[in-house]
Amino acid sequence: MQSLNVTENGIWYLRECLRAYTGACAYFMLYAAALVYVCVFGSKREKEIFIPCSVFLLVTVYNPVSPVLLDRFFDVNSEYYRFFWLLPVIVLIPYLCTKLVMSGGKTKTAAVLITAILILSGKFVYADGIKLAKNIYKMPPDLISVSEAIHADSNVEYPKAFLEYEYNMQMRQYDPKMQLTIDREDYLYVMTNDYTDEMLKDEEHPQYRLLAELIKLQDVDPDAFVDALEATKTEYVVVIKDHPRIGYLEKAGLKKVAETSEHVIYKYDVKEPYVFELVDYSVVY
Amino acid sequence: MLVIALGVICNFIIYLAFGSLITMPYNKKREGVKCPLLLSVVTGFFFYYFVFFFVCVPPMQYFRPLSMLTSIWVPVVASVVLLSAVFNGKLWVKWLKNALSYVRRHPAAIILLTVLLSIQIVLVSCTYNFTLDAAYYVANVATSVDTNMMNVYDPFTGAWQDHYEMRYFFATYSMQDSVVCQLTGIPALIWTKSVMAITIILLTNMVYIMIARELIVYKDGRKDSIRNPELAVVIMTGIMFVVNLTFITIYTSSLFLMTRTYEGKAIVGNLAVMTLFYLFIRMNDESINVRPWLITFIVCFGAATISSSANMLLPVELTVLFIPMIFRKKKWSMLLKYAACVVPGVVFSLVFVLYVKGYFVLYTFPK
C-alpha cells in the first residue's frame, strides 16, 4: 500500500489499511459471523482450530498499535496488509458453508443461497471481463512486432529504447536483449506526479525530460529533449500511433523507421554511439 | 501445449521424489507411519527449493555463471530422484494403487474435482494479466538466461548492477526458473506464466483438498455427522474456489493466486500459509506421526527461499497457530521445535535489515 503511511496515520493506519484491503468485499464480516457460529455451536475441535488463532491475530496483527510499533524497526508501510493473509477466511467460510449444505435437508436451496451470498459478498476477479492471452507468451502481439522491428533496424545486439508504460513493464519479459531507458521507479513517479522546472533542468536525471514531454505532456524545449536522448543514449522512441507528440518528435529530428499495428517507432541517431556489452566475468574465475 | 504439460508433470515427479525422502519410514519399527501422497508432493515442493537455495547461493555470491549452477543442479536433482526411487519405489507403487483404487471408489468426486481444477488451470494459464511485479520476476528469469549470470543485471532496464538486491538474493525461486529455462530452452514467459502457474494452482488445490478432508472426514473413532464426505470435500474445495474468485482487491491473497500465480508472494500467501494451517490441524489432532515438525521446518525455510514475504509472514503464522496449541497441550518440548521453525525467517529478516542499514554490501564484482 504505497499510498498509506504509518507515520501519518498513526493508530488509524490499521483501519485505513483494512479498508483498502477489503474494499467492497464483506468476507471479513462473514468470517466474524462464522467465528461467532463456531463459538456458539462449534465442536471442541472446531473451537481449538479456529478460535485461538483468530483471537491471537486480533490482539496482534489487527491491533492498531502493532503497525506503529513494527514501523520503528521495519518499513511496514507498503507490506503490512500481507499479515491479513493469515486469517483463514478461505478455510472457515467454505467449511461452514459445506456443513450447511451437507447436513440440511434442502441441499440445493442451501447451495444456491450460499453461492449467492459469497458472490454478493465480494468482487469478481474478472469483473472487467476475461481477457484471453493472444499468444503463448501472454504478451500483446504488437509488442512482439515492436521488438522484432527494432532488432531488424538496429546494428547492435542490445538496442536501447524509450517505451510507454505498459510496454516498458512487459518488453524485457519477452525480449531481454532490449535495453530500456526508463526504470520502474521513474514510471511509478510519473504516474502520480508532475515534473518541476528544477527537475527538468536536472542533468543527473535527463530521463525526466523524456517522461515529462512524452508521458506527462509537459512542454520541454526540443533541444533539451534531444540532449536527454543523447545523455541516456536512447536510440529508439516508441509511441502509440495517435500520440499527441508525434509532430514534436519529427520536429526534434527523429526519423520514423517502422510502424506496427498500434505503435510508431522513431529512431534518434546518437552522436556518440553506445554499444552495451555484458561484463566479462571470465577475469574473475 | 505439450511442453507445458510435460513441464508440469516433471515438476510433480521431482516434488514427489524430494518429498517422499522426508515422509518415508526410515526404519522397520516405523513401518506403520503414514503420510498422504499429496502431503509428500507438497513437502517435496518446499524441500526442492530448500535444497536449491544451498546450491544456488554460493555460486551467485562468487559471481559464477548461471550455466555453472545448472551443471551442478542437474546432477543433484537426478541423484535425489534416483535415490528416492530406490528407497521409495515400492511406496510410490503402493500410493499409485491406493490412488487408483480411490478413483474407482469415488468416480463422481474425482470427475467433479477434475472439472474444478481444469477451470482453474484454464483461468491461470490462458488469461492475460498485466502486473507490475512481473516486470521484475519474469524479466529477471529472462535476463539471467540471456546474460548467463544470476541477479547481476537489472531486470527493469537491463543495466549492470554493482551490488545484489538483498530482497531477492535469498529468494532463489526465480533462479531455479532460470536454470530450467536455460536447460530446456523454454522461454521464461512460458515457463513462469504457464508451467509454474499451473503447478502452483494444482499444489494449492491439493492443500485445499487435504484441509477439507481433515476438517470433514475427521476420524477419531466417532461418526461424523456429514453424510457423503467425499462429495463434501468437493463442495468445500469448490467454495474455496468461489471465494478466491470473489475476494478480490489488489491486496488479497486470492487475487495473487488467480492473477499472479507464478510469483513468490502468491506461493507464500496461498500455498505456504495453507500448508502450515494443514500441518497445524494435523498436529492439533495428533493424527500425523511422520516428522511433522521437520515438514513444518522445511515449509518455513523453503518458503523463505521463494519470497522474502515469508520472512515476516510465516513466523507470525507459526506463532498464532502453534503457541496456543502448545500451551493447551502443555507439550513444552514443542517450543524448541517451534523456535527452530521461526529461525529461518527471523535470520533472513535480520540480514535484510542489516543490509538495508548499510552494515554490509554484497557486490556483483570483486572489490
Asked if residue A130 is part of any domain, the answer here is no
Q: List the single residue in A with minimal CA-CA distance to B219.
A: A45
Q: How far is the C-alpha of B358 from the C-alpha of B367, rounded, in Å?
A: 16
> Looking at per-residue confidence, does B185 or A10 come out higher?
B185
> Looking at per-residue confidence, does A105 or B15 come out higher?
B15
Number of domains in chain A: 2
CA distance A160 to chain B (A): 9
Residue B318: left if φ>0, alpha if ψ -120 to 50, beta else—which one?
Answer: alpha
CA distance A17 to chain B (A): 10
CA distance B286 to chain A (A): 12
Number of domains in chain B: 1
Asked if residue A183 is part of any domain, the answer here is yes
Asked if residue B123 is part of any domain, the answer here is yes
Asked if residue A26 is part of any domain, the answer here is yes
Report percent pLDDT > 90 for chain B: 78
CA distance B233 to chain A (A): 8
Buried b (16+ CB within 10 A) or exposed e, A11-48: eebbebbeeebbeebbbbebbeebbebbeeebeeebeb
Asked if residue B361 is part of any domain, the answer here is no
CB contact under 8 A, A25 and B249: yes
CA distance A76 to chain B (A): 10
User: Could you tell me if B269 lies within 8 Å of chain A, comparing CB atoms?
Assistant: yes
Contact predicate A208/A187, CB 8 Å? no
CA distance A112 to chain B (A): 12
Q: Give the pLDDT of residue A94.
A: 94
Reported as a pLDDT band with limits 50, 70 and 90, residue B276 is very high
pLDDT exceeds 80 at position B186: yes
Asked if residue A276 is part of any domain, the answer here is no
Residues of B in contact with A93 (CB under 8 A): 239, 243
**Residue A102 sits in the same domain as residue A207:** no
End-to-end CA distance of chain B: 46
Reported as a pLDDT band with limits 50, 70 and 90, residue B29 is low
Name every residue whose Cβ is closer than 8 Å to that of residue A171 and which is 6 or more positions away in sequence.
A143, A146, A147, A161, A163, A178, A180
- Residue-wise pLDDT for B70-125, tens only, equals 999 999 999 999 999 999 998 889 888 988 998 999 999 999 999 999 999 999 99
CB contact under 8 A, A114 and B239: yes
Q: What angle do CA B129, B135, B138 make, to 5 degrees?
A: 85
**Residue A105 sits in the same domain as residue A189:** no
CB contact under 8 A, B132 and A52: no
**Residue A17 sits in the same domain as residue A111:** yes
CB contact under 8 A, B273 and A86: yes
What's the average pLDDT block by block, 10 residues per block, for chain A (285 residues)? Answer: 81 92 89 94 93 95 93 85 96 92 73 78 88 93 97 94 95 96 92 88 91 92 93 95 93 93 94 85 80
**Residue A77 sits in the same domain as residue A164:** no
Asked if residue A278 is part of any domain, the answer here is no
Q: How far is the C-alpha of A37 from the C-alpha of B143, rounded, in Å?
A: 52
**Residue A97 sits in the same domain as residue A173:** no
User: Could you tell me if B240 lies within 8 Å of chain A, comparing CB atoms?
Assistant: yes
By Cβ distance, the residue of A27, A86, A166 closest to B320 is A86
> Looking at per-residue confidence, does B146 or B133 come out higher?
B146
By Cβ distance, the residue of A48, A81, A134 closest to B284 is A48
CB contact under 8 A, A169 and B320: no
CB contact under 8 A, B157 and A183: yes
- Residue-wise pLDDT for A82-118, tens only, equals 999 999 999 999 999 998 888 766 766 777 777 778 7
By Cβ distance, the residue of B145, B156, B284 closest to A180 is B156
Q: How far is the C-alpha of B49 from the C-alpha of A80, rounded, in Å?
A: 26
Asked if residue A101 is part of any domain, the answer here is yes
How many C-beta neighbours within 10 Å does residue B146 have? 23
**Residue A24 sits in the same domain as residue A62:** yes
AA identity, residue B125: S
- The domain of A13 spans 6-121
Report CA B348 to chain centroid distance, whole Å.
18
User: Could you tell me if B134 lies within 8 Å of chain A, comparing CB atoms?
Assistant: yes
Whether complex ipTM tops 0.85: yes
From residue A280, give the alpha-carbon distance in Å to each of A103, A273, B357: 68, 20, 30
- Residue-wise pLDDT for B231-261, tens only, equals 999 999 999 999 999 999 999 999 999 999 9
Q: List the single residue in A with minimal CA-CA distance to B146.
A: A176
**Residue A115 sits in the same domain as residue A163:** no
Contacts of range B139-142, beta carbons closer than 8 Å, 24 or more positions apart: B139/A172, B139/A173, B139/A176, B139/B188, B140/B168, B140/B174, B140/B178, B141/B174, B141/B177, B141/B178, B141/B181, B141/B188, B141/B191, B141/B192, B142/A172, B142/A173, B142/A174, B142/A175, B142/A176, B142/B181, B142/B187, B142/B188, B142/B189
Asked if residue A258 is part of any domain, the answer here is yes
pLDDT exceeds 90 at position B223: no
Reported as a pLDDT band with limits 50, 70 and 90, residue B289 is confident
- The domain of B165 spans 2-218+225-356
Q: Give the pLDDT of residue A112.
A: 77
By Cβ distance, the residue of B147, B274, B349 closest to A278 is B147
> Looking at per-residue confidence, does B224 or A40 come out higher?
A40
Q: List the single residue in A with minimal CA-CA distance to B148.
A: A278
CB contact under 8 A, B239 and A118: yes
* Helix, strand, coil share of chain A (percent; to 5): 55, 5, 40
Q: Phi first, then psi: what are they for B163, rounded to 5°?
A: -140, 160
Q: How far is the C-alpha of A56 from the C-alpha of B338, rounded, in Å?
A: 16
pLDDT exceeds 60 at position B222: no
Reported as a pLDDT band with limits 50, 70 and 90, residue B30 is low
Q: Which of B204, B224, B252 to mutate to test the interface with A (most CBs of A within 10 A)?
A: B252
Asked if residue A69 is part of any domain, the answer here is yes
